[in-house]
Amino acid sequence: MTRHFTALVLLLFSFLGVHSQEIIPYPNHYEQQEGKLIIPKVITVSAESGEFSSLIPGFVGMLENLSLKAKETGKKGWIQLVRNALCHNPEEYRLTVSPAGIVVEAGCANGCFYGLQSVFQLINSAGTGGSIPCAVIRDNPRYGWRGLMLDESRHFLGMKEVKKLLDFMALHKLNKFHWHLTDSPGWRIEIKRYPLLTSVGAIGNFTDPDTPAQYYTQAEITEIVQYAAERFIEVIPEIDMPGHATSAVKAYPEFSGGGSERYPNFTFNPGKEGTYTFLTDILKEVTTLFPSKYIHIGGDEVHFGNQQWNHLPEIEELMKAEGLENLVAVEHYFLNRMSDSIRTLGKTVIGWDEVVTAGLPASNTVVMWWRQERPEQLEKAISKGYEIVLCPRLPLYLDFVQHPSHKYGRKWSKGEYAPIEKVYHFPDTSYTSGISVATPLIKGIQGNAWTEVIHTPERLQFMVYPRLSALAEAAWTQDRSKNYENFNSRMEKMMEFYKKSGIVFFDYKNPDLSPEVAGPERR
């Protein structure tokens, strides 16, 4: 009923030549007003405070990319950035569009930056010589955690692509970049104390074990972290352990806990004291590179390759000494040791949902719920008081195909996949087996771009866009302000902007005209 009503209103507006605000994610409160604002030949921007003024060059650069003329002015600008003590949430902003210009009000630089992203989208959709409907917008996010994960272990995409992704995250008000930097196929972060991690561990990827070493130097990591911070995006590193460790133990075999036939040398060795020193040393360097309060330590799928633990004398000794009954208890012992190290480093642990049974302290652990077929993991996480980020494979893993005709990405049993519409409607309780996620323990949601089936920038873009736009609206916009038909109509302008920006995307409205970008052929 509500949807039909909104569609009717939209139709009416379009007859009247008035369009709803062309903003993604959709603002949480907006009132359209009489009149319109004409885009001038030269857009001037002024700021009351130095902090807000520092946001202007980036914004001017974005407008210049649209071939619009823009500059900062010391006088009252066509756009005025005003500090407003009334804003409580640092991400909140207010926008007033009147026939005289635009006022962006915010309490903090984050909010002001988001106000400017909205203004940018309004200007972009109006175009040179066009106009924007007058309106008042008051906006703040549904969730504090609005994340995207990129796996660069399986395929390395590189700095240029990461920056492009961060630009688009910022435009969409996404604020957490979870960087999966280590896994079995390749170790991608320079650690000065252990140079073999990159000179040996960074060789190869998911499709070719002989690809020359690809990784980020510490200087490059710092550059990305800074680039992200300028866009109000926090970068959370993931160093996966005790499984998914093949690349690391290829470089330092003395810390290997062995593997299985399918996953050889998959684990670190929890029975050796040296393993904890090695990993803690690594995390110390990681800590100096990433200002985020979080370190993600994975913790997933250890059973894929811990069978040899049964045959290692040092693990037998550990089990005896600590009274550990089975390999799951050994895994939990390991996680607790590393969690203690991370707490000592002043950071908070994030782990995949396997960690909910490890007995880690709720006060210092965040759980990422990823297995939609295991709702009990979500239920346990809630009952144990963990903070949680929701990122179930369906519909939030971006390596799943987005159209039934697509051949290269993943599908779930019975062919289930992850179309944009499902991403948009997340998190409705149908995705969580009826478990209510209306609890403050839910920090937010995240899309995960795993790269087994993604090997080039073009392929990454094809899998990320347009679902990133839907993810952003799911993370930012309250249910009462969400409407899929309205989103579809706003996506017209967004897809035009993708095109202008050289992004390769899936035109979900015209699937026949939008050929799938092929994934990697496995060797």
Cβ at position 331, least distance to ligand ACM in Å: 15
Annotated catalytic residue 301: yes
The residue among 134 and 396 lying less far from ligand ACM, judged by its C-beta, is: 396
d(CA 172, CA 77): 25
Residue 377 tokens read as 């993991």
Annotated catalytic residue 244: yes
Cβ at position 397, least distance to ligand ACM in Å: 7
Buried b (16+ CB within 10 A) or exposed e, 401-436: bbeeebebbbeeeeebbbbbebbbbbbeeebbeeee
Cβ at position 349, least distance to ligand ACM in Å: 15
Query: Under the criterion CB under 6 A, does residue 370 sit at the interface with ligand ACM?
Result: yes
The residue among 297 and 330 lying less far from ligand ACM, judged by its C-beta, is: 297
* Residues comprising the chain, all counted: 523
Among 59, 352, 386, 505, binds ligand ACM (CB under 6 A): 352
Query: Bridge-partner residues for 258, per DSSP?
Result: 267
The residue among 222 and 357 lying less far from ligand ACM, judged by its C-beta, is: 357
Cβ at position 369, least distance to ligand ACM in Å: 10
d(CA 229, CA 163): 12
Annotated catalytic residue 300: no
Query: Under the criterion CB under 6 A, does residue 22 sit at the interface with ligand ACM?
Result: no
Active-site residue (options: 155, 172, 180, 244): 244
Active-site residue (options: 301, 340, 379, 507): 301
The residue among 352 and 487 lying less far from ligand ACM, judged by its C-beta, is: 352
d(CA 485, CA 73): 39
Q: Which H, E and C letters describe 80-147, residue by residue?
A: EEEECCCCCCCCCEEEEEECCEEEEEECCHHHHHHHHHHHHHHHHHHCCCCEEEEEEEEECCCCCEEE
Query: Under the criterion CB under 6 A, does residue 152 sit at the interface with ligand ACM?
Result: no
Residue 11 tokens read as 């139709």
Cβ at position 300, least distance to ligand ACM in Å: 4
Please confirm whether the linkage preceding 466 is cis (ω < 30° from 0).
yes
Q: How far apart are the first and last CA of the chain?
A: 52
Cβ at position 184, least distance to ligand ACM in Å: 11
d(CA 405, CA 190): 40
Query: Under the criterion CB under 6 A, does residue 300 sit at the interface with ligand ACM?
Result: yes
DSSP 8-state secondary structure symbol assigned to residue 173: T
Nearest to 498 by CA among 465, 458, 449: 465
The residue among 352 and 508 lying less far from ligand ACM, judged by its C-beta, is: 352
Active-site residue (options: 183, 238, 387, 452): 183
DSSP 8-state secondary structure symbol assigned to residue 369: E
Cβ at position 306, least distance to ligand ACM in Å: 15
95 in Cβ contact with 135 (< 8 Å): yes
Bridge pairing between strands 101-106 and 93-98: antiparallel
Q: Measured at CB, which residue is nearest to ligand ACM?
A: 300
The residue among 252 and 369 lying less far from ligand ACM, judged by its C-beta, is: 369
Query: Under the criterion CB under 6 A, does residue 301 sit at the interface with ligand ACM?
Result: yes
Instruction: Pick out residues in 481-520 that bind ligand ACM (CB under 6 A).
Output: none
Query: Under the criterion CB under 6 A, does residue 263 sit at the interface with ligand ACM?
Result: no
Q: Report in angstroms the alpha-carbon separations of 48 from 73, 80, 101, 104.
A: 11, 8, 16, 11
The residue among 352 and 462 lying less far from ligand ACM, judged by its C-beta, is: 352
Catalytically active residues, by annotation: 183, 244, 301
Residues forming contacts to ligand ACM in the complex (CB under 6 A) are 300-301, 352, 370
